[in-house]
Amino acid sequence: MLETFDEVLGLSLKSEQLGFGQMAARAAVMYVALIFLVRLAKKRFLGEATAFDYILVVLIGAVAGRAMTGGAPFFASLFGILIMVAMHWIFSATAQRSQIFSHWIKGNATTIIKDGKVDRDAMARSHMSSDDLEEDLRSKGVKDPEQVDEARLERSGSLSVIKK
């Protein structure tokens, strides 16, 4: 059976030696494996993601890409991806139960507007320009910050707005 995997996926070949069929087989196996692994991860990591979630996506892409092209051992890479998804799941579960841990790995929301007053220091700490704020407010149907009871730059990077 291992010989069949080796032949179909080209496991013992260098990347330059992989044929079209072997690359196609690697792509198909990796695609199915990634669907399974991503389903194991929490649903939010592909939605309104935080930096914590994006790190997982980037790492999965990097490791999967190297495995598909023969730059890294195929099954060892799949195992590495499984470990990253498991760690992400454990960290997410821990963050759900511990506010301190959640703030440590996901960050905090930053209040940008309170009672219609813009906090310029909070904007500076968040590297948010006035143009960014105006754009975000317009997307929420707000012309003037004075119309806002509270606006927060969320951990995902989006601005949430509560109108007066």
Q: Given this model, what pLDDT does residue 2 score?
A: 79
| Strand-pair partners of 161 | 151
* pLDDT, tens digit, 9 for 90 and up, residues 9-19: 888 888 888 88
Which stretches in the chain have pLDDT values below 70? 41-48
Q: Given this model, what pLDDT does residue 151 score?
A: 96
Q: Given this model, what pLDDT does residue 110 score?
A: 95
Q: What is the dihedral of CA 36, 15, 2, 59, to 10 degrees?
A: -30
Rg (CA), the chain: 22
* 21 & 35 share domain: yes
Q: Given this model, what pLDDT does residue 47 score?
A: 59
* 93 & 116 share domain: no
Q: Given this model, what pLDDT does residue 16 score?
A: 84
CA dihedral for 134, 139, 145, 151, sign (positive or negative): negative
With a CB cutoff of 8 Å and minimum separation 6, the contacts of 118 are 112, 133, 145
Find, among 155, 77, 26, the residue nearest to 85 by Cα: 77
* 152 & 71 share domain: no
Q: Which domain holds residue 122?
A: 108-163
* 99 & 51 share domain: yes
Number of domains within the chain: 2
CB atoms within 10 A of CB 33: 18
Is the model's pTM score more than 0.75?
Answer: no
